[in-house]
Amino acid sequence: MKLNVAIPSYKRSNTIKEKTLAMLEKYEVDPNVVTIFVANNEELGLYQDSLKDNPYKNNIVVGVPGMKNVRNFIREYYDEGEFIVNFDDDLDTIMRKSPANGNKKEPIENIHKELFEPMFEQMAINNNKLCGVYAASNALFMSYEPKVGLYYCIGSCWSNINDKHPDRMVEIDDKEDYQRSIQHFDLDGSVSRLDNLTVISQYYTEDGGMQVERTNETIEAGADFLVNKYPDLCTKYFRKTTGHAEIKLKDKSGGKYKRGVQTLENFFS
């Protein structure tokens, strides 16, 4: 298993240093496998200056602006079949459902054995190319058992076996992680998810990143795009606590997306 870690980042040259990169350093992740993708040459200069004394300073790549654009750029950047773990730039930590007390969360101890390796293994076992973690940071709803089927793989922490099929390229900025989950379910018949793990991050509140462009209108436009394109796999609703348009995934296709048993040879092709 050759590991690649991809981190798209926009206008967060200090945040990435204080959060995601600090987390990776704590877990002793090799800087040689970590690549930071920035939007343009101006951003490159800011990140190089901010990270000049950071162990992860050497692999900064100028990509393209926009969430959907950089996600697709990253997919094109790596070779077919490569194993990629994708992180947001503002992660505080990765938490697990406590083995001793299922009502509580605790930080993971070993990122390789608890996150990287299980992600790769689940995709191999389930013959699919996308694996995520549980989206809500609530131990009561988390599970010790991994899931396989149609599940939301949140964009802050997910892995994939790289595949440049055009139908895996996302088309929206807001809720691109929902579209990716649906696309992989469509093409592979399932996605994998580690429901014993979750991440701590400042969704919708951290400066920079998607917050620069995100509005209630763009959030709803993303949701509308999904329900119009995939009416048999998702529905839209509004979250009472935020007023944001949200998506709920459910396969109402009557078995349209069911896939036959694949081989590991097909999995890596």
For residue 1, the model assigns a pLDDT of 86
Q: How far apart are the first and last CA of the chain?
A: 15
From the CB of residue 9, how many other CB atoms can be counted at a distance below 10 Å? Answer: 26
- Angle subtended at Cα 177 by Cα 23 and Cα 213, rounded to the nearest 5 degrees: 85
Question: CA–CA separation, 118 vs 65, rounded Å?
Answer: 31
For residue 179, the model assigns a pLDDT of 98
DSSP designation for 149: E
C-alpha torsion angle, residues 132, 135, 138, 140 (rounded to 10): -60
Residue 32 φ then ψ, to 5°: -70, -20
Cα distances from 166 to residues 33, 74, 93, in angstroms, run: 26, 14, 33
From first to last of the 269 residues of the chain, give the pLDDT tens digit: 899 999 999 999 999 999 999 999 999 999 999 999 999 999 999 999 999 999 999 999 999 999 999 999 999 999 999 999 999 999 999 999 999 999 999 999 999 999 999 999 999 999 999 999 999 989 999 999 999 999 999 999 999 999 999 999 999 999 999 999 999 999 999 999 999 999 998 654 555 544 456 799 999 999 999 999 999 999 999 999 889 999 999 999 998 887 654 444 554 44
Chain centre distance of CA 262: 24
DSSP designation for 30: -
Of the candidates 97, 160, 151, the one whose C-alpha atom is nearest the C-alpha of residue 131 is 160
For residue 199, the model assigns a pLDDT of 97
Q: What type of residue sits at position 11?
A: K
pTM tops 0.85, yes or no: yes
Starting at the edge strand found earlier in the chain, the sheet holding 105-107 runs 105-107, 91-97, 197-201
For residue 16, the model assigns a pLDDT of 97
**In contact, 250 and 150? CB cutoff 8 Å:** yes
